Amino acid sequence: MISVGLGILLNPLNSSMVSVAIPRLQNVFQLDFTVVSWIIFSFYIASAIAQPVMGKASDLFGRRKIFLTGLVVAFVASLLAPLSPSFGWLIVFRIVQSIGTSMMVAVGMAIVRIHITEKQATALSVLSIFLSGAAAIGPFIGGVIIHWRGWSAIFFVNIPFVVVSFLLSWRHIPKDEPSTSAQRGMSLRKWFDLIDASGILLFTVGLVALLTSLLSSKSSGQISLSNVIVGLIGLVSLGAFVRHELKAKSPFIPLRTFAKYPAMTWVNVEFMLVNVLFYSLFFGLPSYLQMVRHVSEFQTGILMLSLGLCSLVTSPIAGRWIDKSGPRPALLVSAILMTLGSVWLVTLNQNSPVISVCLALAAFGVSNGLNNVGMQAALFKSSPKEIIGVASGLFNTSRYLGTILSSLLIGIIMGNKFSFEGFQVLGIILTVIALSLVFTNRRRRESGKLDESVGSVS
């Protein structure tokens, strides 16, 4: 568990740590905020694509090999990124880093699913501590390191984690055999057919084009003809991808299997919405505190730390609860807490004590701890064992899509200026999303559809 945990924490650590480096990077490379912000977006886009790809690779070639390879890739990227001669090269190494860390996240969850057969929810709660803890303390660590050592040091901090994880993983992660369909001496064409290179290409082009169009529109504040054309290219590519996957013998994403197990599809949809809620608060509240309430950066960091601490405390409790009662009760409570937290944001006014935002942070922190374990447990119970690598990769793609959509939502609502009125509108929208999750969880729990689908899989 420690071997896997030290590897998978690198992805959330690097996605959150770099956010505090934006002003320093603007000064070093003499760029405006719109351009520099792509160091965040590129990481999310690459992670959204790489995780299902690496999940597919792990199902074919062995999960231990992919995990160890991911550690090597992350190590190389962390060494080269600080030496970037330009911002463009920094983006390239950032994408490479994202691919390496994505290999570990997608495969790490699958390793737990395969090799830990008892009290899986408890095991997931341990991994959740690594993931939530890294995301929670990432901005704090990044701020301290950048203050004392500069922006390049945030990449070097990965190296001890990588080395320790590699040594422990080499010794403790059990060896697994690659898929019988992966044979030596195969022709290049057969290899491409086996890994579904055409499907991966269509998926990549479609997702990159669509997200680039949306993010460019958000960054510029207007919709141009070029953005529309790029967005249409993305939609057409994704449509072609769906058609191709339905016909492929070895599909990259087994859409027919998803249709056969609808509970697995619903878990991914719910997880995406959960992350829209969580990251809208994660990204939006600091701007509200600093720009509207004029709270200092240090005090804002202390307040936001309570979000991660609540999540960390909740995760082990959630693991034991879910082991006994299953994921649905915990997910229902989580949805209710997110609703209460969103409603509390709407009731805030410009004279409310700043400390009162801790109530919303606590509600979202506890719900995040429940969701990190509950959603993953629901995925395990609804996913066939033979495609768990792909399922885990797509699950994390849902996380990053939710993260990107939360950034788009904030940009659309706030425009060029963060205001109190816009923050209230954001709270209303989050309340509506949270209520829809409450209704969905209650309905599915009462109908017992999830339990029936879980029983059929078991």
The 10s digit of each residue's pLDDT in 272-314 is 899 899 888 877 777 777 777 877 666 776 777 777 788 878 8
Residue 119 has pLDDT above 60, yes or no: yes
Q: Residue 183: pLDDT band by 50, 70, 90 thresholds?
A: low
Ranked by mean pLDDT, the top range of 22-31, 158-167, 254-263 is 158-167
User: What percent of the chain shows pLDDT beyond 70?
Assistant: 84
- What confidence score (pLDDT) does residue 454 get? 41
CA distance 381 to 450: 9
Would you say 54 and 200 are in contact if contact means Cβ atoms under 8 Å apart? no
- Residue 166 banded pLDDT, cuts 50, 70, 90: very high
Q: Give the lowest-confidence range in 173-182, 200-209, 310-319.
A: 173-182
Sorted by where each begins, the domain ranges of the chain are 1-178, 197-247, 254-458
Long-range (24+ apart) CB contacts under 8 A made by 384-389 are 384/257, 384/261, 384/457, 385/113, 385/114, 386/59, 387/59, 387/254, 387/257, 388/59, 388/109, 388/110, 388/113, 388/114, 389/54, 389/55, 389/56, 389/57, 389/58, 389/59, 389/63, 389/106, 389/107, 389/110
d(CA 348, CA 350): 7
CB 128 within 8 A of CB 109: no
CATH class of 1-178: mainly alpha
Q: Which residue has the higher pLDDT, 199 or 33?
A: 199
Q: CA 73: distance to chain centroid? A: 19
Render 172-225 in DSSP notation, one character per residue: HSPP-PPPTT--TT--HHHHHHHHTHHHHHHHHHHHHHHHHHHHHHHHHTS--H
pLDDT(450) > 80: no
Report for 129-133, 143-147, 314-318, 387-391: range of highest mean pLDDT: 314-318
Band (pLDDT 50/70/90 cuts) for residue 179 is low
Q: What is the mean pLDDT of residues 230-241?
A: 92
Tokens at 318, concatenated: 């959630």
Q: Is the pLDDT of residue 449 over 50?
A: no
Residues sharing a CB contact under 8 Å with residue 196, sequence separation 6 or more, in sequence order: 56, 245, 248, 250, 251, 252
The first and second tokens of residue 359, run together, are 């109530």
Give, in order, the Cα–Cα distances in Å from 253 to each of 100, 156, 207, 308, 398. 20, 35, 14, 33, 14
Q: What is the mean pLDDT of residues 226-255?
A: 86
Q: In CATH, what is the architecture of 254-458?
A: Up-down Bundle (1.20)
- Residue 340 is predicted with a pLDDT of 92
Mean pLDDT, to the nearest integer, of 185-192? 67
Phi, psi (rounded to 5 degrees) for 183: -120, 150
pTM: 0.73
What is the number of helices (H) and of strands (E) in the chain? 21, 0
Higher-scoring residue by pLDDT: 3, 350: 3
> Which pLDDT score is estimated for 325?
83
Which tops the pLDDT comparison, 62 or 332? Answer: 332
pLDDT band at 455 (very low <50, low <70, confident <90, very high): very low
Return the minimum-mean-pLDDT range out of 20-24, 41-45, 366-370: 20-24
**Beta strands of 270-375 (E only): which ranges?**
none
- Note the pLDDT of residue 180: 53
- Whether 1-178 and 254-458 share one fold: the answer is yes
Cβ contact 174:110 at 8 Å:
no
Q: Which of 433, 308, 305 is nearest to 365 (CA)?
A: 308
Low-confidence winner among 110-124, 345-359, 365-379 (lowest mean pLDDT): 110-124
Supply 310's token pair.
């609540």
